[in-house]
Amino acid sequence: MVTNVLFLGRVAYGTALQLQRTLLEMRKSARIENTLLLLEHAPVITLGRNARLSNVLAPPEFLAKQGVELFDIDRGGDVTFHGPGQLIAYPIFDLRSFEPKVGAVEYVRRLEEVLIRSCGDFGVAAQRIKGLTGVWTYALPDKPEAKIAAIGVHGPQLAGSARGYPAEEDVVAVRRPLGAEVPQGRLAGGHGRALAG
């Protein structure tokens, strides 16, 4: 199986969303192979189908002045912040192309495993937590477990939107930064070494 991997640098959320839609249609029609987009976004807060505006702590005018875009999306979930320093991965995969065959739940578990191992490469011990989707740091004596990577899968056979690695602790515009009311983990500042710099 061939997988194209594209590192795009910083891409506006709307541009990346349109690119995903285009690639998704191309993948469905077998014009491209499975493709993984790696990028980061300018500051944006996405509002999923289950979003509660009460989880956005700052008023829209303040966010606009700070250069943070609000973006309604057609995916599940609540409110999620994406911004500089986060590594975002958008897999455009046809799960039917996997051998052996893999279902959506197994696919998500495999994504979690990739993220756990990637965190380990940066000196961050990470884990799954039973009953929750995503990847979490272990509790430290002075810090609780923290969600370091969120995963969302869109569509019954084509998957997209594994994201994670929040880097900025001073972003407090949302109550649930990675879709859960838990502290954010990060690959810098006490949990491990920085991704860049």
Per-residue model confidence as pLDDT tens digits over 104-155:
889 889 999 999 999 899 898 999 999 988 899 999 899 888 888 888 776 5
Q: What is the percent of the chain where pLDDT is above 90?
A: 36
Q: Is residue 188 part of a domain?
A: no
CA distances from 197 to 53, 115, 194 (A): 35, 21, 7
> Mean pLDDT, to the nearest integer, of 77-89?
85
Higher pLDDT, 168 or 72: 72
Q: Is residue 182 part of a domain?
A: no
Task: Give the structural domain span for 139.
Answer: 3-164
Look up residue 52 and give its two tokens.
Answer: 């509660």
**Among the listed residues 110, 90, 115, 89, the one whose alpha carbon sits nearest the alpha carbon of residue 98:** 110
Backbone angles phi, psi at 160, to 5 degrees: -160, 160
Domain with residue 75: its CATH number is 3.30.930.10
Q: What would you report as the CA-atom Rg of the chain, rounded to the nearest whole angstrom?
A: 16
| Cα–Cα distance measured from residue 112 to residue 132, given in angstroms and rounded to the nearest whole number | 11
pLDDT per residue over 54-72, tens digit each? 888 888 899 999 999 998 8
> Mean pLDDT, to the nearest integer, of 42-52?
87
Asked if 178 and 134 touch (Cβ cutoff 8 Å), the reply is yes
> Mean pLDDT, to the nearest integer, of 84-112?
88
Provide the number of structural domains found in the chain: 1
Q: What is the pLDDT of residue 95?
A: 87
Asked if 79 and 55 touch (Cβ cutoff 8 Å), the reply is yes
